[in-house]
Amino acid sequence: MPRLVIAAPASGSGKTTVATGLMAAFAERGLDVSPHKVGPDYIDPGYHALAVSSSPARSGRAPRPGRNLDAFLCGPERIAPLFLHGADGSDLAVVEGVMGLYDGAAGQGELASTAHVAKLLRAPVVLVVDASSQSRSVAALVHGFASWDPEVRVAGVILNKVGSDRHEELLREALDGSGVPVFGALRRVRAVRAPSRHLGLVPVAERRAEAVESVAALAERVRAGCDLEGLLALARSAPPLPDQPWCPERETAAARGGAGPAPGGARPVVAPGGARPVVALAGGAAFTFSYAEQAELLTAAGAEVVPFDPLREERLPPGTAGLVIGGGFPEVYAPELSANGPLRAEVAGLAAAGAPIAAECAGLLYLARSLDGEPMCGVLPAEARMSERLTLGYREAVAVGDSPLAAAGTRVRGHEFHRTAVEPGAGPEPAWGLVRPERRAEGFVRGRVHASYLHVHWAAMPEAAVRFVGACAPPRSGSGGGGR
């Protein structure tokens, strides 16, 4: 699998610009490009997926989602298998790094750093360097990053924010003797329009037309300033990976205690008539944060996963037996979500009927009584509001009691990323007991509702999909209409 990791000495150097531009430029040339992102970021993968969607190689086929590779959330042993699963059938995989090349989970060495993931993937690294305030010193910087860890193959440099032809000449001269080739130089120009707000870039789902223009502009910059043929040859120099691709059917079968899927696929638990329980998956502009593997695991566990948009649809999908609401920006759309009273009533009715509901971060806010004074679903006895404080970081937690996602005592790793607050922060039956880096109760288990700020990656806990689908009521013959 030809592959590149796009890294940088520090955040703000231009990783996203270069990685997204490369994905789009290679896709325009007809390559089937598989996009990946190191870490728990949900927003960049949306731009990555858009960047590769123009490839003629995907014509008539399902688009490739942007996928995350997080060694903290999923464990180092799953990184290569998850990568191979996501990149299956592609011509090239491009992996955007996170923060600086060697920055990982706080206090845990290289864990979850871009360098760690690059080593697990045995992938060459291209370092994107912000050259705006240096010339000859760039060689010392690149030498330091290339020699710091001999197991990390820093195999190329792309110079970003170059001021002029003379500036580029000085930079290239300085790097001539470094042993690290220069694969491109991008001029210092007015940034391609990609608006940000309190949690980073505005997601693609909220600005589709503008995002298409932004990605096209990035592709043009990279195409003009980078040696695409050289980069492709570098990607093809990556050695074979000995791992087997991650398989949702095999994972869910193992979670049930089985030996694996039968030849030709899984045999999920379904109703006698062959119907699968419908699991509604919230999406649209207000709920853009989810990992692609979650829906794949739910499907492998026996569910029919049906996406819906709470901003536009007044009914849950027909026959809904379970509901999953991931992260996103409900605080931006609180008035619109509140105005959709019929759907709020259906969600509350679904919870009252005992159907399983899994809500993360944005989903937690949507299930609260109110969000910034706007009425929400009222499933949880809590009020939510915007906050000036950013809560961000990896967490380790334990399931306090049994829930549709986890048995009591189950240990998980997760990630918090929000600028909102919920009062109270935990119910009488919390979803999780956080144990690191701090100890506190967090979230709510109320009936079969599991709601929490904690984002978890279900690839690391496939039993969550099995438990959740098992908690769904079996589909009834001829059932129709909305949720409940």
User: Mind telling me the catalytic residues?
Assistant: 361
452: left (phi > 0), else alpha (psi -120 to 50), else beta?
Answer: beta
Q: Are 404 and 356 in contact (CB under 8 A)?
A: yes
d(CA 463, CA 484): 26
In 3-state terms, what secondary structure has residue 411? strand
d(CA 67, CA 57): 19
Q: Are 297 and 459 in contact (CB under 8 A)?
A: yes
The single-letter code of the amino acid at 197 is R
The shares of helix, strand and coil residues in the chain, as percent rounded to the nearest 5, are 30, 25, 40
Closest CA to 175 of 148, 150, 157, 188: 157
Sign of the torsion angle spanned by Cα atoms 42, 44, 306, 346 = positive
CA atoms within 13 A on the CB side of 385: 8
Q: Is the link from the previous residue into 474 a cis peptide, with omega within 30 of 0?
A: no
H or E element in which residue 95 lies: strand 92-96
In 3-state terms, what secondary structure has residue 414? strand
Task: Say which residue the tokens 């590769």 belong to.
Answer: 52
